[in-house]
Amino acid sequence: MSLGQIESKKVLVRFDFNVPMDGNKIVNDFRIKQSLDTIYHLLDKNNKILIASHLGRPKEGVYDKKLSLKPICNYLSELINRKIKFIESCPDKLDFEDYEVAMLENVRFNVGEKSCSDKLSEKISSYVDCFVFDAFGVSHRKECTTYGVSKYLETYSGLNIQKEIQTINKLINENSKPMTIIISGAKVSTKLIVIKKLLLKCDYMILGGGILNTFLKAKGYEIGQSLFEEALINEARSILQTDNASKIVIPTDLMCEKSSVTKNIKLNSLSKEDIIYDIGNESINYIKDIIRKSSSIFWNGPLGYVEKKPYDTGTIELAKAIAEHKCFSIVGGGDTLPIIENLKLQNKYSCLSTGGGSLLTYLEGGSLPILRELNI
């Protein structure tokens, strides 16, 4: 049975509303807006909806007001122009008599959510008739509301995850060459396996952030006071010794800070006091050339310390270059999307994915437990 056949039911829907917040203010609402098609579709079929999501990384069993979903509930209520009942804790029973849409408080406040407790999964399942999963960003997590409830309920895929998976499969199956993969982030440890596997698939790999710094250190370059992972140096070095290492783009210059002064410095000229915060101007131009000759691009994570100008330059220029080239492009990772939206380039990409870690896991062929239940 497809999503379109769910009618006059009580439906649990797992979205990913883990959005950036500034106090009670939503900084970027991309993931919230991506839920609207599924919500409207279910309401049009006379269904009642119970929304589940997490926000941040609270300590289980401890209420943290800063990570409450109440502001998101109020915001979504305005978007869909309907009152949403906010449910502050998991009750023994849930009555849908007087509202169409309800939202559970941050599911990670519940003891047993992250460990996929059968008891909690069964309790949440008892509220509804069926389960719709539309949270690609957490599809790599085996938790109660991302997987556990599927053992007790008929389970269906939401409209957004269907669209995302179809687009990502196009990148994988068509194998459009040349393929460029851009991976950035603070830690190599979270992305080391995917770097190894995606090096086999791509023609060019561009690294940024602490990941780039770790690889530069492994190659023997001076990186000064820059962020890197000492424990992963040997792993990075082993990757650099493989036949595919030539695909990794090593920047020729970098944007650095020393004693609060910003300088564009050649890679071979860094001092022990320099801190790398972005790629340099010469390297940006070289990356643009790579983008222009690429048929497909996958991008995960901003290249530099984008929270502080001018270290967002590399990321902004990369975003513009991909948009202008009009190739097949997928962007994932929450930190990258707000930059693209601020530049008003969101319609220039093939897919802006709600997934970060899940997207990387899917591309490398890793396990996404709930997708096996959804048959997509």
Selecting among 209, 210, 224, 357, the annotated active-site residue is: 357
Selecting among 9, 14, 31, 201, the annotated active-site residue is: 31
Phi-psi region of 220 (alpha: psi -120 to 50; beta: other; left: phi over 0): left
Q: Are 11 and 3 in contact (CB under 8 A)?
A: no
Rounding to the nearest 10 degrees, give the CA dihedral for residues 367, 372, 373, 376. 120
Residues 194, 306: one domain?
yes
DSSP conformation letters of 39-84: HHHHHHTT-EEEEE---S-PPTT---GGG-SHHHHHHHHHHHTS-E
Residues 153, 190: one domain?
no
pLDDT given for residue 342 in this prediction: 87
Q: Is 280 a catalytic residue?
A: no
Last residue of a domain, one of 121, 136, 160: 160
Q: Is 357 a catalytic residue?
A: yes
pLDDT given for residue 291 in this prediction: 96
Selecting among 70, 85, 170, 187, the annotated active-site residue is: 187
Which helix H or strand E contains 7, and what residues bound it? none
pLDDT given for residue 335 in this prediction: 78
Model pTM score? 0.84
> Domain for residue 169, yes or no?
no
> Domain for residue 180, yes or no?
yes
DSSP conformation letters of 107-163: GGGSTTTTTT-HHHHHHHHTT-SEEEE--GGGTT---TTTTGGGGTSEEEE-HHHHH
Tokens representing 132? 């719709």
- Whether the bond between 71 and the residue before it is cis, its omega within 30 degrees of 0, is no
Last residue of a domain, one of 98, 133, 160: 160
> Domain for residue 249, yes or no?
yes
Selecting among 185, 208, 333, 334, the annotated active-site residue is: 334
pLDDT given for residue 270 in this prediction: 95
Q: Number of folded domains in the chain?
A: 2
The CATH number that applies at residue 219 is 3.40.50.1260
Q: Is 9 a catalytic residue?
A: no
Residues 11, 92: one domain?
yes
In the numeric block, the tokens 């070095």 are attached to 237
Residues 115, 239: one domain?
no
Residues 41, 181: one domain?
no
pLDDT given for residue 236 in this prediction: 93
Q: Which amino acid is at 286?
A: Y
Residues 239, 353: one domain?
yes
Residues 182, 110: one domain?
no
> Domain for residue 23, yes or no?
yes
pLDDT given for residue 374 in this prediction: 85
Q: Is 31 a catalytic residue?
A: yes
> Domain for residue 373, yes or no?
no
Residues 119, 181: one domain?
no
Residues 149, 271: one domain?
no
Q: Which residues of 55-74 are buried (b: 16+ CB within 10 A; e: fewer)?
A: beebeeeeeeeebbbeebbe
Residues 197, 63: one domain?
no
pLDDT given for residue 366 in this prediction: 63
Residues 155, 183: one domain?
no
Longest dimension (CA), the chain: 69
Last residue of a domain, one of 129, 160, 191: 160
The DSSP bridge pattern shows strands 130-133 and 10-14 to be parallel
pLDDT given for residue 341 in this prediction: 87
Domain coverage including residue 10: 3-160
Q: Helix, strand or coil for residue 241? A: coil
> Domain for residue 97, yes or no?
yes
> Domain for residue 170, yes or no?
no
* pLDDT tens digits in sequence order for the chain, 376 residues long: 578 889 999 999 999 999 888 899 998 898 999 999 999 999 999 999 999 999 999 999 999 999 999 999 999 999 999 999 999 988 888 888 788 999 999 999 999 999 999 999 999 999 999 999 999 989 989 999 999 999 999 999 999 999 988 888 887 777 678 999 999 887 777 778 788 888 988 999 999 999 999 999 999 999 999 999 999 999 999 999 999 999 999 999 999 999 889 999 999 999 999 999 999 999 999 999 999 999 999 999 899 998 899 999 999 999 999 999 988 999 987 678 888 988 999 889 988 888 777 888 887 776 688 988 887 7
> Domain for residue 369, yes or no?
no
Q: Report d(CA 165, CA 169) in Å as an integer.
A: 6
Residues 189, 146: one domain?
no
